[in-house]
């Protein structure tokens, strides 16, 4: 335990040549020209996503920023163009917590006739206070961090496969998870059922952990399905590290501030936190690598619960059921916490 901790604190490079102190610019310096690539990056209105967008655009990639807050996305676009005037940055509306919005975004993007090489599912939400359900009746953190990304990936996968086949350039999907996924080791389906029905108290940290566990399980099952499809597309999952982004800055308070002071040496800067995402998205070393979990730009081991192939397949089936039910739920859903839940989860033995 002491050796890994020392390596992290010192930023010692791992097998990839990079470590915890490497920045997004570092990992792509001297890398391939990205001018022929188109990337969609969710959650790019601030923090790690905005830095990922800046670095990929700086190296020539066309960047599409889906955003619920279009004004904030336009401000990011302006900053990118200020640094890289020739950059091609598009802003399109998207609310990941709404499956209808995800479908609308995907339809609008596909209508543009653009290729799609990179899909970076980066957006993350930490709910505060009491339980909230999405308009589709799904616990809000799970809906935003996982289910919206599941549907987005499903709707865009065909375009990615076609782009890869036509250009010969391998497509890459990056799911941004968190080491917090290891904080949940129970039955994710039963937890979501019980929380949604208010049979147990809502714990925002547990809900976040479940959503991040789902990101890892999704990566594993998708990698398997991509291989079966014969698609020239890979998918990997990353833990960006601990960084004081807007997501955790929202949790202000004496205790939170004290913890951040005590752990300041463990916190990454935003450029450092974006490094692993950029490494997984564009570094040549990861050509053909799929279904892996990375931290500090090196392959790492996720929690035992995140490596279960049966649970990954079960989550996939549950996700398909939820997006199918959401289509029927549609405009009749309420955005309040009294919205009828649509959680449908297959039993483990099915």
Catalytic residues: 202
Phi-psi domain of 110 (left: phi exceeds 0; alpha: psi -120 through 50; beta: other): alpha
Phi-psi domain of 330 (left: phi exceeds 0; alpha: psi -120 through 50; beta: other): left
* Alpha carbon distance 194, 312 (integer Å): 20
Buried b (16+ CB within 10 A) or exposed e, 222-251: bbbebeeeebbbbbbbbbbbbbbbebbeee
Q: Give the C-alpha distances (Å, rounded to integers) separating 25 from 86, 228, 255, 270, 271.
A: 18, 34, 33, 11, 8
CA 279, chain centre distance (Å)? 14
């Amino acid at each position: 335990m002491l050796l890994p901790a020392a390596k992290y604190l010192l930023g010692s490079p791992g097998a990839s040549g990079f470590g915890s102190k490497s920045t997004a610019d570092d990992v792509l310096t001297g890398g391939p020209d990205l001018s022929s690539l188109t990337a969609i990056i969710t959650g790019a209105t601030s923090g790690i996503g905005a830095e990922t967008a800046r670095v990929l655009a700086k190296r020539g990639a066309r960047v599409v920023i889906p955003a619920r807050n279009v004004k904030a996305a336009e401000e990011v676009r302006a900053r990118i163009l200020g640094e890289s005037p020739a950059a091609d940055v598009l802003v399109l509306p998207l609310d990941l917590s709404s499956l209808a919005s995800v479908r609308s975004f995907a339809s609008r993007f596909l209508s543009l006739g653009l290729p799609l090489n990179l899909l970076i599912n980066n957006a993350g939400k930490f709910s505060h206070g009491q339980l909230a359900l999405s308009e589709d009746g799904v616990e809000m953190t799970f809906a935003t961090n996982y289910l919206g990304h599941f549907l987005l990936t499903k709707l865009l996968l065909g375009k990615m496969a076609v782009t890869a086949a036509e250009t010969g350039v391998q497509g890459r999907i990056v799911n941004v998870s968190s080491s917090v996924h290891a904080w949940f080791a129970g039955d994710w389906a039963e937890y979501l059922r019980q929380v949604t029905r208010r049979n147990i108290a809502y714990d925002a940290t547990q809900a976040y952990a479940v959503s991040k566990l789902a990101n890892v399980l999704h990566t594993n099952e998708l990698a398997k399905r991509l291989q079966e499809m014969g698609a020239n597309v890979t998918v990997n999952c990353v833990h960006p590290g601990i960084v004081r982004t807007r997501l955790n800055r929202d949790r202000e308070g004496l205790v939170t501030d004290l913890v951040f002071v005590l752990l300041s040496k463990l916190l990454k800067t935003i450029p450092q936190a974006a490094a692993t995402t950029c490494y997984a998205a564009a570094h040549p070393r990861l050509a053909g690598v799929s279904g892996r979990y990375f931290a500090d730009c090196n392959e790492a081991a996720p929690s035992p619960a995140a490596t279960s192939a049966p649970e990954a397949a079960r989550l996939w089936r549950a996700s398909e059921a939820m997006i199918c039910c959401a289509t029927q739920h549609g405009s009749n859903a309420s955005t309040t916490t009294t919205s009828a839940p649509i959680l449908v989860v297959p039993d483990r033995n099915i």
